[in-house]
Amino acid sequence: MNKTALVTGATSGIGRATAIELAKKGYQIIATGRREDRLEELKDLITEVPVYTMAFDVRDKVAIEEAFDSLPEAWQQIEVLVNNAGNAHGLSPIQTGDVDDWDAMIDINVKGLLYVSRATLPYMLKHKKGHIINIGSIAGKEVYANGNVYCASKFAVDALSKAMRLDLVQEGIKVSEVNPGLVETEFSEVRFKGDKDRAATVYQGYQALQAEDIAELISFIVTRPAHVNLAEVLILPTAQASATTVVKE
């Protein structure tokens, strides 16, 4: 029987690439996100293993509860959870930041990760095994100007990853945190509210990481032997040395 991996934010970027990569490793995939058309596309694309889709907003705890309550038996033994859904919304100083953007980042990046973890844990606890991979960021290690609330949300992911590891160690559940630097996805388009030209400039003049680079790392982490936990990894483009130090042509 295939092992089961649940990937949040599987409709785009890192989550989509991770679903594809873990499917290649033989995991049957529970793919989640809000955009149902993209979940269906992914389901058609992955042919090696079965794919089950659940469309919900990670801010909606009732929808999450309902989705997990209706998980068919064959999908209930979740061994891997990749808490990836998240985004930055805006890039403004604190004095002019949009409070709706703040709500979105805290509610999605922090509370959403908590809700999905809470919903998944009963399945892992029942079998006394599992592996949770939280997608943090270099922004959860260093703050940068105008990054304020996004950075705070990723610092929270860092704290929660460490806390989850402490709480879950006696349950035989591994917790890992992957902290990428600049990855070329739809991330900046979301941050800049659909301004594709501005988003493109973030990745110009150097070779940014690609979603597949992160997916390969996640795949490596989850395929280590049972006694090995890669607890935290910071992964950067070669041209990047800190959140704001990027060598561009």
182 is an interface residue for ligand 8X3 by CB under 6 A = yes
Task: Please report, as residue ranges, which positions from 11 to 70 form the binding site for ligand NDP (by CB under 6 A).
Answer: 11-15, 33-35, 38, 57-59
52 is catalytic: no
Distance of CA 110 to the CA centre of its chain: 11
CA angle 139, 141, 147 (to 5 degrees): 30
Residue 243 touches which of ligand 8X3, ligand NDP, none (Cβ within 5-8 Å per kind)? ligand 8X3
**Residue 137 within binding range of ligand 8X3, rule CB under 6 A:** yes
Contact 211, 17 (CB under 8 A): yes
Stretch that binds ligand NDP, among 70-78, 123-131, 161-169, 177-185 (CB under 6 A): 177-185
14 binds ligand 8X3 (CB under 6 A): no
Closer residue to ligand NDP in complex, CB, 77/203 = 203
Residues 6+ apart with CB under 8 A from 96: none
| Residue 138 in the binding site for ligand 8X3 (CB under 6 A) | yes
Nearest to 112 by CA among 32, 193, 5: 32
Amino acid in the structure at residue 64: I
Using rule CB under 6 A, residue 110 touches ligand 8X3: no
Decide: 192 and 198 in contact? Cβ < 8 Å: yes
Q: How far apart are CA 172 and CA 229, in angstroms?
A: 11
Cα distances (Å, whole numbers) of residue 64 to 13, 56, 71, 172, 177? 22, 7, 11, 24, 22
Residue 137 sits in the site that holds ligand NDP (CB under 6 A) = yes
89 CB neighbour count, 10 Å cutoff: 22
**Minimum distance, C-beta of residue 105 to ligand 8X3, in the bound complex (Å):** 11
Rule CB under 6 A: which of 206-245 touch ligand 8X3?
Answer: 243
Residues that bind ligand NDP (CB under 6 A): 9, 11-15, 33-35, 38, 57-59, 84-87, 108, 135, 137, 180, 182-183, 185-187, 190, 211
Active-site positions?
150
Residues that bind ligand 8X3 (CB under 6 A): 137-139, 147, 182, 243
